[in-house]
Chains A and B, each alone.
Chain A
Amino acid sequence: MFIRKQLPVLVGFVGGIIVLGGFFLTDPSLRKAASTVVSWRTTLAAFALVLGAMNLVKVNWNRASAGKPIDRLAGLALLVPLVIMVVIGLTSGTTAKVYAYMYDNVYRSGAATVFSLNAFFVVSAAYRAFRIRNAHAALFMVAGLIAVLGPASIGAYLWGQLPVIADWVLKVPSMGATRGFEIGLALGIVSMGARTLLGIERGYFGGE
C-alpha cells in the first residue's frame, strides 16, 4: 500500500523540491542536482517508450494476423517499416545514408502530408463555425477574418490599411487578451503543480 499510494507522492515531492530549489537558489550543487532530476525524466520516458512500443506492435500484430483485408494491410503498413527502420538504425546507425534516405523520403513526406490535412480542416471548420448567429459570433468572425487577411499578402492587395489594422489588433487587444488569458493559465499551472507536489492531486496515478 505504501508503494502504491505514499511512495509516488514522496518521490514527486522530493524531486519537485530539488528542482524548485535549483530554480530559486544559486547553489551550484543544488542546480546540478535539479538538472540531474530533470534528466531522469528522459530515462523514464525511454523505459515507458518500450511499453508503448510493445502495445503498438501487439495491437497491429493482431490486426495483421486476423480480420478484414484492409485491417491486415493497415497492420502490415505499420509493422514492416517499423522493423526495417529499427534494423537499419541498429546495424548501420542513424547517420548512415540509407537511414537518411528512409527518413527524408518516407518519414518527412508522410509527416508533411498528415500535417497538410490541417489546411483542409481549417477551411471546413471556418466555413462551419464563422456564422453570424449572434453579436458574439459576429465579433468572432470579424476578428478572425482580420487576423487571417491582415498578415497575408492578399490583405494588402485588397485594402492597404488592412495590414495596419490587423497589426494593431494583434499588438493591442489580442496581446492584452492573450496576456490576461496566460496569467489565468499560469496560475492554474502553479495551482496544479503545487497540488501535485504536495500530494493533494493524485488523479495522475489513479490515487484517491
Chain B
Amino acid sequence: MEKRDIWSTLSRIDAKLLYALLAVFIIVPLIKPLGLPMSIPAETRAAYDFIDALPDGSLVLLSVGTDPQTEAETWAQAIAMGRHLLSKKCNLVLMSVNSVGQPYAERLASILQEEFGLEYGQDICVLGFRAGEETAVAGFAGDFLTLYNADYKGAPVKELPMLKGVSSAADFKLIIDYQYKASAIWFARHVGGPHKVPVIAGSRASSAPNMMPYYASGDFKGVLPGIQGGAAYERLLQRPDQATKGLDAQSMGLILVILSVLIGNVATVMGAQAKSKKA
C-alpha cells in the first residue's frame, strides 16, 4: 500500500514544488558559478573563424533585434562579437529592425565606444530606426542611403566619415543579425542573396533549428544558438562574461527538466506494475 502511494505521489508532483526547485537550481549557479564543461557548436566556430578572417577595417552591419525577452540570449552574443570585430579594427554600423531593439543598438554602441575609445561617426555609428520589419530590410537592400538617410540623432548619414564612399548594401563585408522574429532570414533573402553579402545569425536557442537549413545551404556563414552560442564565442575569445555565467544556470535548469521527466516516468511505470501485481 505504501509503495503504491509513493509512486502515485511521484507521478503527480505539485507544479509549485517543481517551480520552487527550479528557482533554486537557477539561482545557485548565478551566485556561485559551477564551471560546467561546454562544447563549442561547429556553426559558432564557423562564425568565429569567418570574422577572424575578415580583413582589418572591414565595414560590418550589426542588426540588433534584441528585446527584453531575448536579452539573456542575444545580448551577450552581441557584446562578444562586437569585441571580436573591434579587435580587428572593423567599422561598425548598428541598426535595428524593431523599435524595442533600437535602444539596445544605442546601448551596444555606447558600451563598445567606451571600452575601445571609439569615435562616433568615424569608427561606429547607429542608424535611425525604420518601421516595416522585413520591408525595412528590403528597403535597406534596395536603396540603403535613401531609406536610412539619418542616424539615430538625426544627423545625415552621408556626412558620417565612415560611410563616405558607401553607396549600397553591397559595400558591407558582413552582416550580423541578432534575432528579431526571422530577421536573419530577411537579411539573407534580401541582402545576402542578391548582393552576396555574408550573413551570420545570432539566434535564440529555440529558433536555432530553424536557422540550420540556411547554415547548411551556405546562406549563413555561422549561427550562434542562444546562450550556448554566446558562451562558446566568449570561450573562443578567451573572455568569459555574461553568457558563460548564464550557461551554468541554464544547464542546471535542464538537469531539473531531465530529473522531473525521469522521476515521472519511473513513477508511472512502477505504479502500473504495482497495480497489476495487486490485481
Contact = CB atoms under 8 A, between A and B. Distances in A.
Would A and B touch once assembled, by the CB under 8 A criterion?
A: yes
Interface of A: 31, 35, 38-39, 42, 100, 103, 107-108, 111-112, 115, 119-120, 122-124, 126-128, 130-132, 141, 144-145, 148-149, 151-157, 163, 167, 170-171, 174-175, 178-179
Nearest to B263: A127
Return the 7 tightest CB-CB contacts between A and B, nearest first.
A111-B68, A115-B69, A153-B38, A154-B251, A127-B260, A124-B15, A163-B39
Contact of A171 (B103, B212, B258, B268): B212
B264 A122 contact: no
Nearest to B35: A153
B228 interface: yes
A31 B142 contact: yes
Interface string B248-270: 10111111111011011100110
Interface string B191-227: 0000000000000010011101100100000000110
B161 interface: no
B265 A152 contact: no
A119 B261 CA distance: 15
B151 interface: no
- Contact residues of A: prevailing secondary structure: helix
B228 A152 contact: yes
Contacts of B212: 170-171, 175, 178
Contact of A153 (B39, B67, B132): B39
A100 B228 CA distance: 30
A182 B152 CA distance: 37
B268 A132 contact: yes
Contact of B253 (A111, A119, A156): A119
Contacts of B13: 127
B18 A124 contact: yes
B260 A126 contact: yes
B36 to A, nearest CB: 5
B228 A153 contact: yes
Contacts of A145: 258, 261
B250 A152 contact: yes
Interface of B: 13, 15, 18-19, 22, 26, 36-39, 41-42, 67-69, 71-72, 103, 131-132, 135, 138-139, 142, 205, 208-210, 212-213, 216, 225-226, 228, 231, 247-248, 250-258, 260-261, 263-265, 268-269
A127 B261 contact: yes
A153 B69 contact: no
B209 A167 contact: no
Nearest to B247: A153
A177 B146 CA distance: 41
Given A35-B135, A39-B132, A131-B265, A123 B37 contact: no
Given A115-B69, A123-B256, A130 B216 contact: no
Contact of B260 (A39, A123, A171, A179): A123
A152 B36 CA distance: 10
A152 B254 CA distance: 8
Contacts of B142: 31
A108 B36 CA distance: 29
Contact of A178 (B15, B68, B72, B210): B210
Given A151-B228, A156-B37, 17 more contacts: A35-B138, A111-B67, A112-B69, A119-B26, A120-B19, A127-B15, A127-B18, A130-B264, A132-B265, A144-B261, A151-B226, A153-B38, A153-B39, A154-B251, A154-B255, A170-B212, A178-B213
